[in-house]
Amino acid sequence: MTPPTAHAEAAGRHARTPWEELVTAALLGTDRRTPPLTAPGRQAPAALLDAAAVQTVRRRAGLRPAPAADRPAPAPADPRPVVPAAARRRLATLLADHPSASGGRRGTAPDLMELLPQWLALAGDRGFTAPPELLPALLNAARGRTDLRPQALAFAGPRAQWLARFNPDWKFALRAAPGSAPETGPQGQRELQRRWQEGLFAERVTLLATLRAHAPDDARELLSDTWTTERAEDRLMFLDSLRTGLGGADEPFLEQALGDRSRNVRSTAAELLSALPGSALAARMADRAASCVALDRTAGRPELTVEAPHECDAGMERDGVAPKPPAGRGERSWWLGQLVESAPLATWQRRLGDRTPDDIVALPVADGWRGELHAAWCRAAVRQRDTGWSRALLGSPSAPDAAGPGAVSLAERAKLLTTLPAAERAEWVAGFIDAHGLSEAFQLLGVCAVPWAPPLGRAVVDALNIARDAGSYPWSFSGVMGLAERCLDPAEAVRLEALTATPDEPEDASPGAGGYWSEAFQRLVSTLRLRAAMRAELDG
């Protein structure tokens, strides 16, 4: 055995070993980094652990009380009323629900976590604020789900930002929390400049977004003052905030950003400029795109001919055209698509004989360029929020190629739908479901306003009923069922009650399909009733 005095001497040597060196040796491993120890008869790993134990006790025992910190300022007041007591209890239940780790969900119980966004939207619409005691749970939920953050932070109000300063896990609230209109006058301007110059990056993003929503020109001027000193990744984030309130007054600043040393910044500036049909960049892109597409009247009927660019010159690159295509994409078609999507859509009506968008979309396109041309027009219609072109490119929902493989894909149709009014959007998707069923409708349903309009709700329920009676493979409709739970009008619960019984299974039905459909419809009905109860509780 080692004499006690040897242990004491070793302990003394261990106590004199710097903590940082022990940590470094532990992280790298004693095979790669020999710890600065002298421990006769002990292997290096064991000696390292002994030394770390001694140092830990020494560090804890040697701590000196620190001066008391200043008491933090009280949280700012929130003038909005707190939700009623019943709604408060409901929120606590929703926040306490945790998704199952086992994967697929069965049973008839509603999925509470999926109802939380809707509860927050309802509470926000009614002008309520969060109960103070539930703010930590609300911030934890928003930390784990980015889709919750806008509604959760708007509902939590200024207290969420105050609380986030005391917990690094909630720092997202400093960046994403919506703000109020900045103060006006000289004092307000001085405070604005101070916060912009001295704030953390997350706070500056929030400040710029808030100011952009209330005073777009002031936000742009604030950004331009420090633009050349910002990091490239920060410039990209700040530039993206100009999407809010984008207007012609932003053009000079965005034109300047086209010369930025960061490719991503240049690309974003070009995209924003192309969303301004009257900008100089849009005019340049219109000239380039128009030289690539022409109307040929020599054939039996008019058709469009396409001559894609043969090179991507310096001017095109400066205006945001990416010269290198992604894998599997041809260079010329890649350049053509970028030119067409950045050109004002009015260009084509002037160039193609004052035809309407419907007439232009109906024109045949020579040499297989139709898909490329229509896809670029889709991106332009979404970027420019042009409802006329969106309707033309969408076409009739009952058309045979509406579900593919037409010139416009389902993903592109979903984006086009976002430019239409909510009622028209729902009507188009309802017509699509009536004609093509639910198998291709999932991403289209995802862009419809909640709750679904009655025609759309009826179309979804009818299609589910048809699939149930046909004994279809039930799990292929689980995504639509999940959407229906969140998006159907709660009034549909009465109509759905008859579908909760287990149906007789046809001979060619999937095994167990009847039981699954019954279970799924029971869950749907119980979820709709819970949503109705949530609304009643918030209405007091």
pLDDT at 201: 84
Distance from the Cα of residue 379 to its chain's centroid? 18
pLDDT at 142: 93
Could you please report the per-residue DSSP string of 259-278?
Answer: T-S-HHHHHHHHHHHHTSTT
Q: What percent of the chain has pLDDT over 70?
A: 90
pLDDT in tens, 240-250: 999 999 999 99
Could you please report the per-residue DSSP string of 475-529?
Answer: GGGHHHHHHHHHHS-GGGHHHHGGG-SPPPPPTTSPTTHHHHHHHHHHHHHHHHH
Beta-bridged to residue 295, according to DSSP, are: 304
pTM for the predicted model, two decimal places: 0.77
pLDDT above 70 (res 13) = no
Where residue 377 falls among pLDDT bands split at 50, 70, 90?
very high
Q: What angle do CA 400, 445, 87 make, to 5 degrees?
A: 165
Helix (H, G, I), strand (E, B) or coil at 129: strand
Q: What percent of the chain has pLDDT over 90?
A: 60
**Mean pLDDT, residues 521-536 taken together:** 94
Most trustworthy range by pLDDT among 10-19, 240-249, 510-519: 240-249
Type of residue at 519: E
pLDDT at 104: 46
pLDDT in tens, 254-300: 999 999 999 999 999 999 999 999 999 999 999 999 999 999 988 67
pLDDT at 321: 95
**Mean pLDDT, residues 409-422 taken together:** 95
pLDDT at 470: 80
327 DSSP assignment: T
pLDDT above 70 (res 126) = yes
Phi and psi for 60 in degrees, rounded to 5? -70, -45
**Mean pLDDT, residues 159-185 taken together:** 77
Domain boundaries, the chain: 4-60, 185-276, 289-394, 421-540
Among 17-21, 191-195, 216-220, 504-508, which is the least confidently predicted range? Answer: 504-508
pLDDT above 80 (res 198) = yes
**Mean pLDDT, residues 472-477 taken together:** 76
pLDDT at 98: 59
Where residue 10 falls among pLDDT bands split at 50, 70, 90?
very low
pLDDT at 14: 45
pLDDT above 80 (res 186) = no
Where residue 351 falls among pLDDT bands split at 50, 70, 90?
very high
pLDDT in tens, 424-457: 999 999 999 999 999 889 999 999 998 999 999 9
pLDDT in tens, 297-340: 886 789 999 999 999 999 999 999 999 999 999 999 999 999 99
Mean pLDDT over each residue of the chain, to the nearest integer: 87
Specify whether the CB–CB gap between 304 and 296 falls below 8 A: yes
pLDDT at 91: 96
- Which secondary structure element, helix H or strand E, spans residue 295, and what is its range? strand 293-296
Where residue 178 falls among pLDDT bands split at 50, 70, 90?
low
pLDDT in tens, 337-346: 999 999 999 9
Pair of tokens at residue 99: 């998704």
pLDDT at 510: 66
Q: How far apart are CA 289 and CA 319, in angstroms?
A: 13
